[in-house]
Amino acid sequence: MSRREVCNGVSAALQEKRWGEAASRLAELSRLGGVAKVGALQRWVRDADAARHEDEVASFALLWLLCRVAAGEPAAVPREPVAVVRFDPWEPCERRPNLGGGPAERSASVSSFFVAHTEKALERQPPNRYDLRIWTSREVRTLAPATARRVEVGAVEGAFVLNGVLSVGECRELLDIATQLGFEPDEPLDPDQRDRLALAAARTKGAFAALADDDDDLDDPEPRTNLKTGVSERSKTVVWLADAALNEGLFERCRSHLPQTYDDCRDARGRAVGRAELCGLNARWRLYRYDAGGTYRPHVDGAWPASALDSAGNYVYDAFGDRLSKLTAVVYLNDDFSGGTTAFYSAADDNTLRVFGVTPRAGSVLFFPHGDAAGSLIHEGSNVASGSKYIIRTEVLYKWGSSSSSSSYPSSRNHGRARTSTTPFVALEHPSSGARRHDEDSLRDNNKRPSATTMTATSSKKKRSRRQLKRPPSSIIDKPRPRVI
């Protein structure tokens, strides 16, 4: 049986809840010495974790096998139940004292923020109950240089933490901006809901009406699966397209500690592009809030391109086409909560599933590899026991081709904005107006994201909302006045 046939067999068995067959196919795949595409691995991990609702023993066995497959290690189907061993969380540094100055005393302005792009709920991948709003600002914010210290995460290959990237005050001000923009829930539709939406759309009825419990006008399609595949529970988010100066200021604080090159890289379509060089951070920041009980279930991160605004101020998902991420960056904005570690899964030879957690520390950044099925790290945002956890999720970008630019924005759109500033990060005045409403991007498979060409063409045909029409002309966007934050 070919590798492709084995992979298709894994997918079918998981969808139809044939756990034993899925385990046998995964073991066979591990012995073939190859792995599936990242998108397939992402789906498998979600389905294997969702199996816990019906068969916890099978779920742990599947996750153990998936860890072996991702690590490129051969395995056989476990004959005994897989035991889960959770180690005491590792602390990358001591907790720094809170220096005071809460939001009432030091408030950042959001009066210059506007919605750069809105992706309708049903057009998202996968479809969602909420629109995705991407915020950005007309004003340039800057970060002063600062010295970070790298600490290896010994139990997790390829993972490391940079301590002291942001000060406690800087974390507070970024968090204050996100809070004023407004954290809102993200709820991807499950497969059965998507089937009902498709049926409703075919009958020219309001799509969301098909999801109402009291709607009896339609015959529901036969459920494909009863798996609950949502990965994020009780989380809310804001998506912020950071301006070049702010984004590159954060990058400069991390640059010297990051891998400078990667060999044997591939583009978003999986084509070999050879050597790629470090070029920046993705400006598309996703800020998450996890309240008590909040969990991000086990999953695998995919690679991202660099997002930016074009010269007309339009949002472009893949603004360059010549760079892709290789590392996840998790910026911890607070640590005044309990639980909420970033936990990594690994499969030991003794058929135990080991879970190693990293304790969040405000101002520290956790980095770990992603984007390739081989070596992908299965991880989770563990349960928040009390309080609220806040993070920024972005990625480290690597560029292939004849030259490498450190800028994470197109040079034709920089107009001087991408320079690293030495102006300190200080508090802003209280806002004159409060902007609200947002949404997040849910976990997606790489090969299902729209291309830059498709998104730009689609966006240009859509009627802009009143909010978007208030966006300033491109001359203002391209030539902003610097402002420190």
Is 432's pLDDT higher than 70?
A: no
Is 218's pLDDT higher than 90?
A: no
Q: Which two tokens stand for residue 270?
A: 């999986």
The band of 36, judged by pLDDT with boundaries at 50, 70 and 90, is confident
The band of 463, judged by pLDDT with boundaries at 50, 70 and 90, is very low
Would you state the pLDDT for residue 372?
78
Would you state the pLDDT for residue 202?
60
End-to-end CA distance of the chain: 59
The band of 199, judged by pLDDT with boundaries at 50, 70 and 90, is low
Cβ atoms 302, 38 nearer than 8 A: yes
* Averaged pLDDT of the chain: 80
| DSSP conformation class of 90 | B
Would you state the pLDDT for residue 188?
75
Would you state the pLDDT for residue 122?
86
pLDDT tens-digit series, residues 264-300? 899 988 899 999 999 999 999 999 999 999 999 999 9
Would you state the pLDDT for residue 361?
98
Cβ atoms 184, 437 nearer than 8 A: yes
Cβ atoms 190, 15 nearer than 8 A: no
What is the secondary structure of 101-147 as a DSSP string?
--TTTS----TTEEEEEEE-GGGSSS-BSS-EEEEEESSEEE-----
Is 474's pLDDT higher than 80?
A: no
Cβ atoms 315, 309 nearer than 8 A: yes
* Average pLDDT estimate for 145-169: 96
The band of 47, judged by pLDDT with boundaries at 50, 70 and 90, is very high
* Average pLDDT estimate for 377-399: 97
Angle, nearest 10°, between helix axes 3-15 and 38-50?
Answer: 30
Is 422's pLDDT higher than 60?
A: no
Helix (H, G, I), strand (E, B) or coil at 349: coil
| DSSP conformation class of 419 | S
Is 410's pLDDT higher than 70?
A: no
Nearest partner of 279 among 308, 302, 299, 300, judged by Cα: 308
Nearest partner of 285 among 262, 308, 254, judged by Cα: 308
Q: Give the contacts of 383 (CB within 8 A, at least 6 positions apart).
A: 293, 294, 295, 339, 340
The band of 310, judged by pLDDT with boundaries at 50, 70 and 90, is very high
Would you state the pLDDT for residue 201?
62
What percent of the chain lies above the pLDDT cut of 70?
71
* Average pLDDT estimate for 432-459: 40
* Average pLDDT estimate for 134-138: 94
The band of 368, judged by pLDDT with boundaries at 50, 70 and 90, is very high
Q: Comparing 59-63, 65-69, 112-116, 450-454, which segment has the lowest mean pLDDT?
A: 450-454
